[in-house]
Structure 1
Amino acid sequence: MASQNLKAKFRRRLTKELGIALVVLLPLMVGFVVLRVAVANSTEEMIQARRAFTEHTNIINRLITLRSQYDAFGKTYFNVLHNVIPEKDELINVSQEFQGVAAEHNLQFGFSFRGEDPASATSLGAVHFSIAVAGSNLPDITEFITDMQSFHYLTVIENLHVSRAETGMEAVIIGKVYYRTPEN
């Protein structure tokens, strides 16, 4: 009986010790698992944040490179475009400028506006025109057309009709002069 009593006492003590160990170890194990999952999630978030940071850094570096290239080369070409493509207000005397070119070639001159394509922030506008010239010979008209093609503003000849008249040659030129908005 004493040995059974001792065994029972030992079992109770062992059960009590195991219960205490389970009460202490179980929360520690659960805490360890929760902490491990949290660390794994945080690590993944940090890896993604680092990738995003690297990508944004690369984008910024490319923008810096583009800006320096624009500053080195683009501004010069942009200024050339500003000289070739005027603002609309600068075209107010375009008919007189064409008339001056016609006078240099001893041509009679007529000019009429045919409409306009308005400019926007992303596209150029155009003033459409029709020019009628008459002269004594074809080379004068040909030289006038050549001068129009190299006019100081961006000018496009869309249609050209040359015919023989009683007193020489006549030509009707339909074209347009491009312009930009002040913001461009």
Structure 2
Amino acid sequence: MGAKLLMLAGDFVEDYEMMVPFQALQAVGHEVHAVCPEKEDGDTVKTAIHDFRGDQTYLEERGHDFALNATMADVDPADYDGLVVPGGRAPEYLRTYDEVLETVRHFFEAEKPVAALCHGPQILAAAGVLDGYEMTSYPAVRAEVEAAGCSWVDEVTTDGNLVTGQAWPDHPEWIAQYLDLLGTEIDHGKPVAADD
């Protein structure tokens, strides 16, 4: 039986950081609810694609419309086994919503698995839950998360209930570490041809 996971979204969430874990976690049997304050099940958020081309910071382009599949106002965090916090530009304003911060605090108080990527840790810092953790984030967010009490490292990291990565290029390792934290077991058996 898969876990029931909550995923925070908002306009201009990073496209790959929303789409890839949303689909990957479902592909291995987890139920994932994507929510956004002030939006309902079936509404969409606009995504942004952050590309890394050797400039001093990322290039941002318009991504897709991502359809939410749950309503944040109806969510009880106690009903969920884990939380996913993608990056992009959404975290800078999502952290201003009390309901977002209260939701994040629940997962840390209950020591449930949390995966945060890129700018997502801005929300965790605002929620006041990072004190004592070893973690990573998008490098430009380092000062913010260190000010919130964590020690920053330059790699995908799991510390207690928290898995963090720097950006979408970290997906393979970041998602794998989150699956381990969730206790996900994947059958790596080989398919058998119909005539065998």
| TM-score (normalizing by structure 1) | 0.23
Q: Which has the higher helix share?
A: 1
